[in-house]
Every structure is written in C-alpha cells, then in structure tokens.
Chains A and B, each alone.
Chain A
Amino acid sequence: MSTSFILRRLGYGLLLMLGVVVLNFLLIRLAPGDPAVVIAGEMGGATEEMLESIREEYGLNKPVLVQLWIYVSGVAQGNLGESFFFNQPVSKLIAQRIGPTILLVISAQLLSILIGVFLGVIAARKPNGLMSGFVTVFATIGYAVPVFWTGIMLIILFASALPIFPVEGMQSVKLRDAPFFTQAVDVAHHLVLPAFTLAIIYLAQYARLSRASMLEVLGSDYIRTARAKGASERSVLFRHALRNAALPILTVAGLQFGNLISGALLVETVFNWPGMGRLAFESILRRDYPTIMGVLFFASAMVVVANLLTDISYRWADPRLRGRS
C-alpha cells in the first residue's frame, strides 16, 4: 500500500477535523445570547468578572476572524477550553472518559460484525429457508427497536429476574484496588449488557447485508469452480465466498461508526457507563458548552480515524484497489 495514499487520507482527515473546529466556533456564535454567557454555561450563574475573563481568553471583543484564529490555534495546541462546571480543562475531562467509550464501541462493533456476518452466511446457504426468514424478520425488528429502550428492558430483566450481569456502571466499587486481571474480568462482566444492547441494531443490519452480499457472490463462477474441485461446504462459504462478500460489509462497518457513537451515547446514559456519551448527556443538562463541544470534536475525530482505517483495510482486502490512487 502506498504511503502517499495514507498521507493523503490523513491530510483529508485533518481537514475534516478543522471543519469540526470551525463548526464548533460557529455554533457558539450563532446561539442566541452573549457567547461569553453561553461558554460560561447558563446554569453556572457566572459573575461579571468571570464573563470578562472569558471574553479576554476567547478574544470576544476582537473581530470575528481573530476570534476564530484564537479558537482554532487553541484547539491545535490541545486547548479545548475550560469546563466551568467541573473547573477543569475539557481535554482532561475527555481523556478520562474516552477509554470506556472506545471499549464499548469497539466491543459492540466486533460483536455485531461477528454474530451478524455468521448469521448472514448461514442464512445465505438456503435463501428461502427458516434461517433466512429469521434473519429478515430479526433485521427488521432490530432496526425498529429504540436502542435505549432495549437497554432498559434488559436492565429490568437482569436486575431482578436474572441477576447474572451487572446493570450499572463499569466497575464494582469493592474491586477498585484489586489486581489488574480481576479488574479486567469485572469490567468485561459489566460490559456484557451495554455492548450487547448497542450491538443488536447493527447485528441485524450486518446479518441482512451479508446475506444479500453472500447470495450475490454464491452465484458466481468461481464458487462453482470451488465446489467442482471438491472444496468442503464450509470452505466454500467462509474461504471463497465470504472473502469476496466482505467488501460491502466493510464499507458499511466504516459508515456505521458514526451511528455507533450516537448509539453509545444513549447506551452509556442508560447503563451509567462512564464514557464520553454520558459526559455529553450530563454536560447538555448543565449547559456546559465547552465540554459538549469537546465531546463533539473527539467523537468526530473517532469517526475520522475509523474512516481512515476502513479505507486502508479496504485496500488491504481488495487487491484490485492497491496500485490505484
């Protein structure tokens, strides 16, 4: 794979991030009211001195373009502003919260792709069979259930009727000082319900997509060749067909990432998962705009990185694309 391709995609990603920063800036200015009051947070009951220091820091008395420059160069140096609710730099707040979100989102993504693709492949073997019908129905249902409601239903089920999974938080308080391995198991235990809740919607979509994609591939000549030379059914399905059917799945997985983050926001709120989504929710309730804007920035950055990885893996998975730019 050419380095220039990766560098170009990287440059483009940075450009998109610059766009997000400018958007953040514009949003605060477009909001009704004094930007200094907006930044301080309407719930904060900011004093006149505080507002004055915000005006000073953000250069709010200067021309708009100068303000933009101050803001953009600040972000470029890692300064996302100060949360007036927490009295902490936003970047620090997010640094504490981004790990749990990444853990949740990646687990959900892996769960949904693995199970979804597996179901889709099985279903594609018999396009009119029972499994196919199940996948189609399940996909339509999975698409229509509000993700936060699934989470709540699971909490109701697992809190009292079947108390085998924790329904809240990421860690047990009593295990805070336990050895690393015990803690990791504890976190994984807490992760089951949130990750599964988030995975359900996408799982259904991957199942449906991979079924369609497999059906298309299974009709091609090289599959007949593989069968003719005596390859086992499993080898035909998973080695010959799935490798070729995987491209659309990969594309969707990349595109889906933004939605996954949106879903994580709701799931974190339902399960009190201490991630960025939960932080965004809390900050919105407090009108803590610097924090909200910081979350928007980092969440977008995660999507940009995911897109970049998709582009790269796409080229890796499809040799036809490699020499091209």
Chain B
Amino acid sequence: MSDMTDYKAESPAREAWRMFRRNVPALAGVLILGIIVLLTLYGQFFYAGDAFDVVWAPHEPPGATAEYPLGTDYLGRDIIAGLLTGGGPTLAVGAVAAAITMVIGITLGALAGFYGGWVDNLLMRITEFFQVLPALLFAMVLVTLFSPSLWTIAIAIGVVSWPQTARLTRAEFFKIKELEYVTAARAIGARNKRIIWTVILPNAMPPLIVSATLTIGVAILFEAGLSFLGLGDPNVMSWGLMIGANREYILDAWWPVTFPGLAIFFTVFAVSLIGDGLNDAFNPKLRER
C-alpha cells in the first residue's frame, strides 16, 4: 500500500518546476541573470568608484591600465564603475515597467475576456488603438512631455506595451470561463469579482508568467533605447546612457559602447532563456517546437 503515494498526481506547479530544472538553457539563463543582478546590487561595494567621476585620461583602452581594466570613456570615466552602477536603474526600470504592463494588460484583458459583449468590444478597440501607435515613438513623446525620470520612463514603457498582455489574458479568459470548475464556482454562488480574480486568473497564470518574463526583456531594451536617444534620466547612470553618451566617438574608441551593449544583451538574453524555459515547462507538449 505504501507505494500508492508514488502515483499521487503531481501539482502543476511542481511538475513545471521539475521540467524547468532539467532545462539547461533556462538554468543558464537563471545563472547569468543571477550574476548580473548580484553584480549590480553588490558590485559597488567591492569595486569602489563613482560612475560619474573622471578618473583617468579619456579613451584609455581596455587592458592598458591595471586600475581600469575595461578602460575609460570619452570623459575619462571608468567603464566598470559605469557598468556596475548603470545596471541597477536599467533592471529596476525594466522590472517596474513590466509590472505596470502586466497590471494594465491583465486587468483590461480579464474584463474583456470575462464579460465579453460590449465591454470586450470597447476594450479591444482601445487595445487596437494603442497597437497602432509605434511604441517607442509614443514612449518618447510621453517621456519628453512629462520630463525624464526613472518613474516617468517606467510608466511610459508600461503605457505603451500592455496591449499584447491584454490580448493574451483575454484569450485565456475566453477559454477558461467555459470550463466546468468555473460553472461549479458559479453554482456555489461565487460573484463575478471572485470568479475573475480567484478562479480564472490563477489558472490563466502560466502563459502570463511567461509573457511577464519576456516583457521584462522588452522593457529593458526599451529603457536602453530611450536612454540611448538621450531621453533617460541624465542624473542616473544607465547602460543605455553610456552607449548614448559615447556614441559620437565610436570611431575613436569602440569599448565605451561595446561593454554596456554586451551587458544589455546578456541580461535580455538570460531573461528570454528563462522565459522560454518557463514556456516549455508549462507546455510540455510544445517542447519539440
């Protein structure tokens, strides 16, 4: 009798975790992202130096001085200090923007998918409207009008990127609201509010978690793009700002733009490996694709 327990159904979350754990690229993503987050959080403590301080001659190439292994930028600022302090704002804006995107997208998508009819119609027209606006351009306009700060940047990115999440949530709600357990919840007298947030939403989470992960990547690229265009917060060092500031001098010095670009690349790369891993873990059947 004792081995009966071995056949107990595994909870979906546990099963997903088991799948994820065996996914080498996804684990590599977790490792890369972990290292980057640790470096941006704690790097400044064991590598002293203000990213805005001019510490050496301008355009010192990497490896030329032992003190500044990755060289200096056009003003003579230390590249490593920039990378370590610039990561925080980039990651923070990415995470906050992704959170805003998810909150707007899930709320509107859930309402549209659950109520259908005119609510759906109205909300989907609004969604389509926002999809017509080229996101980066719209975000640029918002940031310029409301003056660049980390918050306005995060909010602007959130405001321009929610439509996809809304569509995804809506599709999930359409599918799930017809299922038996929703009817059952209704039968025991659950109100709409409760059905939406505690019955359907948790079951719609797997694709939304994947989407949230990928949204962080997109938001980081967005922040980088805005800072590169000179629309970042000028008082806060970020990877995009480093690229934008040194752009004029790329033919004299390749390193001040190359390293922050690599940092952005590895971060987004890690995030999307994790996103793909989660996707595979939640949909084992799709793994062969």
A residues in contact with B185, CB < 8 Å: none
A residues in contact with B135, CB < 8 Å: 258-259, 262
**How distant is the Cα of A28 from the Cα of B258 in the complex, in angstroms?**
37
Interface residues of B in 145-186 (CB under 8 A from A): 145-147
Q: Is the CB of A262 within 8 A of B258?
A: no
**How distant is the Cα of A164 from the Cα of B196 in the complex, in angstroms?**
59
B residues in contact with A303, CB < 8 Å: 131-134
**How distant is the Cα of A270 from the Cα of B225 in the complex, in angstroms?**
11
Of the listed stretches B100-108, B198-206, B227-235, chain A binds: B227-235
Known A-B contacts A215-B288, A262-B134; the reply to A148 vs B254 at CB < 8 A is no
Q: Is the CB of A144 within 8 A of B229?
A: no
Of the listed stretches A67-75, A183-191, A281-289, chain B binds: A281-289
Tell me if A295 is interfacial: C-beta within 8 Å of chain B: yes
Tell me if B53 is interfacial: C-beta within 8 Å of chain A: no
Closest CB in chain B relative to A324 CB, distance in Å: 19
The closest CB in chain B to the CB of A137 belongs to B25
A residues in contact with B258, CB < 8 Å: 153, 156
Q: Is the CB of A144 within 8 A of B217?
A: yes
Q: Is the CB of B131 within 8 A of A255?
A: yes
Q: Is the CB of A31 within 8 A of B146?
A: yes
Of the listed stretches B43-51, B114-122, B243-251, chain A binds: B243-251
Tell me if A78 is interfacial: C-beta within 8 Å of chain B: no
Q: Is the CB of B221 within 8 A of A156?
A: no
Instruction: Select one of A16, A28, A144, A293 contacting B132, CB under 8 A.
Output: A16
Closest CB in chain B relative to A291 CB, distance in Å: 11
Residue from the set B138, B217, B272 with the largest chain A CB neighbour count within 10 Å:
B138
Known A-B contacts A143-B272, A144-B265, A215-B289; the reply to A266 vs B133 at CB < 8 A is no
Q: Is the CB of A212 within 8 A of B289?
A: yes
Tell me if B208 is interfacial: C-beta within 8 Å of chain A: no
Interface residues of B in 122-145 (CB under 8 A from A): 128-129, 131-138, 140-142, 144-145
A residues in contact with B217, CB < 8 Å: 143-144
Closest CB in chain B relative to A154 CB, distance in Å: 11
Instruction: Select one of A156, A258, A269 contacting B133, CB under 8 A.
Output: A258
Closest CB in chain A relative to B165 CB, distance in Å: 14
A residues in contact with B265, CB < 8 Å: 141, 144-146, 149
Tell me if B17 is interfacial: C-beta within 8 Å of chain A: no
| A interface size (C-beta, 8 A) | 55
A residues in contact with B36, CB < 8 Å: none
B residues in contact with A285, CB < 8 Å: 230
Tell me if B16 is interfacial: C-beta within 8 Å of chain A: no
The closest CB in chain B to the CB of A208 belongs to B289
**How distant is the Cα of A156 from the Cα of B240 in the complex, in angstroms?**
18
Tell me if A119 is interfacial: C-beta within 8 Å of chain B: no
Residue from the set B137, B247, B254 with the largest chain A CB neighbour count within 10 Å:
B137
Known A-B contacts A144-B217, A148-B225, A152-B247; the reply to A266 vs B272 at CB < 8 A is no
**How distant is the Cα of A46 from the Cα of B146 in the complex, in angstroms?**
20
Interface residues of A in 268-325 (CB under 8 A from B): 269-270, 277, 280-281, 284-285, 287, 289, 292-293, 295-296, 299-300, 303-304, 307
Q: Is the CB of A300 within 8 A of B264?
A: no
B residues in contact with A211, CB < 8 Å: 289
Q: Is the CB of B251 within 8 A of A160?
A: yes
Instruction: Select one of B142, B224, B251, B266 contacting A156, CB under 8 A.
Output: B251
The closest CB in chain A to the CB of B128 belongs to A16
B residues in contact with A31, CB < 8 Å: 145-146
Tell me if B276 is interfacial: C-beta within 8 Å of chain A: yes
Q: Is the CB of A266 within 8 A of B136?
A: yes
Q: Is the CB of B273 within 8 A of A140?
A: yes
Tell me if A261 is interfacial: C-beta within 8 Å of chain B: yes
Q: Is the CB of B137 within 8 A of A141?
A: no
Instruction: Select one of A30, A146, A148, A265 contacting B137, CB under 8 A.
Output: A265
Tell me if A27 is interfacial: C-beta within 8 Å of chain B: yes
**How distant is the Cα of A265 from the Cα of B257 in the complex, in angstroms?**
19
Known A-B contacts A31-B146, A156-B250; the reply to A148 vs B134 at CB < 8 A is no
Tell me if A45 is interfacial: C-beta within 8 Å of chain B: no
A residues in contact with B133, CB < 8 Å: 20, 23, 258, 296, 299-300, 303
Seed contacts A141-B265, A156-B258, A303-B132; 13 additional CB < 8 Å A-B pairs? A19-B132, A28-B145, A144-B269, A144-B271, A146-B240, A147-B225, A148-B228, A149-B257, A152-B243, A266-B136, A270-B247, A284-B231, A300-B132
Question: What are 26 contact pairs spanning A and B, CB under 8 A?
Answer: A16-B132, A20-B132, A23-B133, A28-B145, A38-B145, A143-B272, A144-B269, A145-B265, A146-B268, A148-B225, A149-B243, A149-B261, A152-B257, A155-B250, A155-B251, A156-B258, A258-B132, A259-B135, A262-B134, A262-B225, A263-B136, A266-B229, A280-B140, A284-B231, A299-B134, A303-B132
What 3 pairs between A and B have smallest CB-CB spacing? Answer: A262-B136, A149-B261, A144-B268
Interface set of B (CB-CB < 8 Å, partner A) = 128-129, 131-138, 140-142, 144-147, 217, 221, 224-225, 228-231, 240, 243, 247, 250-251, 254, 257-258, 261, 264-266, 268-269, 271-273, 276, 288-289
Interface set of A (CB-CB < 8 Å, partner B) = 16, 19-20, 23, 27-28, 30-32, 38, 127, 140-141, 143-149, 152-153, 155-156, 159-160, 211-212, 215, 255, 258-259, 261-263, 265-266, 269-270, 277, 280-281, 284-285, 287, 289, 292-293, 295-296, 299-300, 303-304, 307
